[in-house]
Amino acid sequence: MKAPSHLLFLVFCIGLIADVLVPEIWGHGKTKDYPLWFWAGQRVLHGQSLYPVDSAGYFEFIYPPLPAVLLAPPAFFGKVPLYLCLGLLNAVAAWMVAQFSHAMAGSGREPGPWLEALPGCVMITFVLDIFDLGQPNLLLLAMMLCGFWLLRGGRPWLAGGMFALATAIKVFPIAVLPYLVWRRRWGAIAGMAAFLVFFLFILPAPFRGFQHNVAELKTWYRGMVGTNSAEGFGQRAEQNWSSVNQSIIAVSHRLLRPLNYNQDDPHKPPRYMNLVDLDFAAANWITVAVCALIGIGYIWVMPPAWLRTEKSDAEEIGILFCLMTVASPLAREYYFVWLFFPITVLMHRAVYHPRPKVRTGTWIMLAVVCVLLGFSLPVYPVALQAYGNNLAATFVLIADLAWHLKSTPKQNGEALPQAPGALQLGPTSNQ
């Protein structure tokens, strides 16, 4: 039954990989981020620095040293082998994201062919963007889902290792740490800390030299994490406050300060959307207050540990992925591929929830999400992106997941199974 959809997925991935390789082999060369990955791998192979001596200078490579070290082996064989490797990694990541998402959706049901394919169809523009740009966000999502799968299977140290690897490649997955602390996942926290040390300091050392690697980490930190001003943060200041960034921080500042949301394109006239005219510090405080309220709301909807079920875990992690996406200081279009998992969870609710009205309501909410995400297409005014169409879609997902999380549906008159690791209730409890 599922063979046709699997074959279609294979053909789809072959087409996307060909879209990367054909321009490089027979055209003028693949553009976007692919040449940068080759450049970074070559810098490692030749023992050259990844960052300028002055952390205030321009960074060609804005990631920690580890990704460059990982890019070096395929880069040794040339651009085509490197691009093929990256394309295959994204194809495998897309497959694993779909498999993990359905397996962890918490419905206790195996999806049919159309439900298995539907989340991928909704997220197809984001997946296309990932392949075209060569960005690792889909791979990071696969790592995070794998981490939670390992955590669910009682292997917290390995789970922490997956979280650490994702963080060492692109920093924003570190936002999982407060969640792990709140849920008292001490093994995963310890594993994440230990593996972060390994990935950031030990693994690159044989290739970069320990002192050189530490010096580059310091330079990267000062240039990327340690900078924050009214003009921008990190590198690529022209993107920080423009419409391409739909993080909570960026949209809040565009609403609170007179910021040109076309600043990433000097050919476009300046456009502003601020409702008030506050200074940088005041806008920051309001943003912090908004984020704090969202965090408190998240804690409020989370069930206590002894009432966790597979259903509640899926919805809880779905909200977490939504928040991790929009809490990143920079959330470009392709970042929202992380909505794949929460959308999958809600589709399972829309199909398998025992109450018809809830199924209908969930489908309506998903339709609203699809409409909002669709506003990113080029046919719509860029102002819709500046006001945060993807951010709004994320908040709709959070609201729907929170509603499901606070409800206690049952299947066939019996409660859904408890989550692995949850405390058991009743006379059999060994608390």
Closest to 185 measured CA to CA, from 215, 151, 219, 212: 151
What is the rounded CA–CA span in Å between residue 90 and residue 135?
9
pLDDT for res 267: 86
Mean pLDDT of 79-93: 96
Could you give the residue ranges of the DSSP H alpha helices within 134-279?
Answer: 137-152, 156-169, 176-182, 186-197, 205-208, 210-220, 237-240, 248-256
What is the rounded CA–CA span in Å between residue 166 and residue 331?
16
pLDDT for res 426: 33
Q: Is residue 418 part of a domain?
A: no
Closest to 331 measured CA to CA, from 255, 246, 429: 246
Residues 190-232 have pLDDT tens digits of 999 999 999 999 999 998 889 999 999 999 988 887 676 667 6
pTM of structure? 0.91
For 16, 125, 157, 325, 342, the CA distances from 129, given in Å and listed in that order, are: 10, 6, 33, 16, 19
Mean pLDDT of 320-331: 94
pLDDT for res 1: 47
Residues 368-384 have pLDDT tens digits of 999 999 999 999 999 99
Q: Is residue 428 part of a domain?
A: no
Q: Is residue 266 part of a domain?
A: yes
Instruction: Decide: 359 and 350 in contact? Cβ < 8 Å.
Output: yes
Q: In b/e form, how buried is each residue of 265-295, taking b as 16+ CB within 10 angstroms?
A: eeeeeebebeeeebeeeebbebbeeebeebe
For 157, 172, 317, 377, the CA distances from 296, given in Å and listed in that order, are: 28, 20, 16, 33
How far does the chain reach from its first CA to its final CA, in angstroms? 45
Closest to 321 measured CA to CA, from 175, 166, 183: 175
Q: Is residue 425 scored above 90 in pLDDT? A: no
Instruction: Decide: 247 and 331 in contact? Cβ < 8 Å.
Output: yes
Q: Is residue 416 scored above 70 in pLDDT? A: no
Q: Which domain holds residue 44?
A: 3-411
Size of the chain, expressed as the number of residues it contains: 431
pLDDT for res 226: 67
Q: Is residue 340 part of a domain?
A: yes
What is the rounded CA–CA span in Å between residue 101 and residue 39?
34
Residues 89-145 have pLDDT tens digits of 999 999 999 999 999 999 888 888 889 999 999 999 999 999 999 999 999 999 999
Residue 425 or 82, more confident = 82
Residues 16-56 have pLDDT tens digits of 999 999 999 998 888 889 999 999 999 999 999 999 887 77
Domain count, the chain: 1
pLDDT for res 74: 96
Tokens of 354: 């025992």
For 228, the enclosing helix (H) or strand (E) is strand 228-229
Mean pLDDT of 363-367: 97
What is the rounded CA–CA span in Å between residue 245 and residue 331?
5
Mean pLDDT of 399-412: 78
Q: Is residue 407 part of a domain?
A: yes
Mean pLDDT of 329-351: 95
Q: Is residue 241 part of a domain?
A: yes
Instruction: Decide: 302 and 421 in contact? Cβ < 8 Å.
Output: no
- Mean confidence (pLDDT) of the chain: 89
Q: Is residue 426 part of a domain?
A: no
Indicate left, alpha or beta for 283 from its phi (over 0: left) and psi (-120 to 50: alpha): alpha
What is the rounded CA–CA span in Å between residue 96 and residue 77?
27
Neighbours of 296 (CB within 10 A): 9
What is the rounded CA–CA span in Å between residue 335 and residue 390?
10
What is the rounded CA–CA span in Å between residue 332 and residue 365?
23
Q: Is residue 247 scored above 80 in pLDDT? A: yes
Q: Is residue 425 part of a domain?
A: no
pLDDT for res 225: 76
Give 147: exposed, middle or buried? Use CB within 10 Å, 0-12, 13-18, 19+. Answer: buried
DSSP 8-class letter at 159: H
